[in-house]
Amino acid sequence: DYKTPTSLIHDLIDIVSKNGSLLLNIGPRPDGTIPEPEQEILLEIGRWLAVNGEAIYGTRPWKVYGEGPTEVFEGAFQDTKREGFTAQDIRFTTKGDLLYAIVLGWPESGEVVIESLGTRLALYPDAIKQVEWLGSGEPVQWSRDVDGLKAKTPSDRPCQHAYTLKIALNR
């Protein structure tokens, strides 16, 4: 049995947000070819990274790794114990003056709320310059108050599996 591309992408995001590295075991055949199911999984991960790679490559962990209701168990090989991630599960990475908030499900309400960026919290008290969805050219309607940063989703999903808000910080 293979893990799904969604499960592996969520694992990658969760691990990178905690300053870790993901190791995948790809078992080639004796002739060196990679079995078709494994190829499809790798290609799907590649398609996701083509849109969201800047939120993964060369990033560092933020002040907190993330937020959301899904319980994550510590230790190796514990990922099968957890329930699937939801649109309320968000992971953070940072690079320079950018904060990436990767939403691990599509918000059916049409809006994501990032509580960690609420003005009542001391995690980031400064102003936010700009917010955009990676892979979408649409301007983002967003606001920030005591409850968090609220951003409307684009009319079309920019990719599958997980969705990244690129947040320009005012540092």
Give the start-to-end residue ranges of the domains of the chain: 5-169
Q: In this predicted model, what pLDDT tens digit does every residue of 64-109 receive, in sequence order?
A: 999 999 887 666 555 555 568 999 999 999 999 999 999 999 999 9
Average pLDDT over residues 132-143: 97
User: From 2.10.70.10, 2.60.40.1180, 2.60.40.1120, 3.40.50.300, which CATH number describes the 5-169 domain?
Assistant: 2.60.40.1180
7: its two tokens: 């499960």
pLDDT band at 30 (very low <50, low <70, confident <90, very high): very high
126-144: burial string, b at 16+ Cβ within 10 Å, e else: eebeebbbbbbeeebebeb
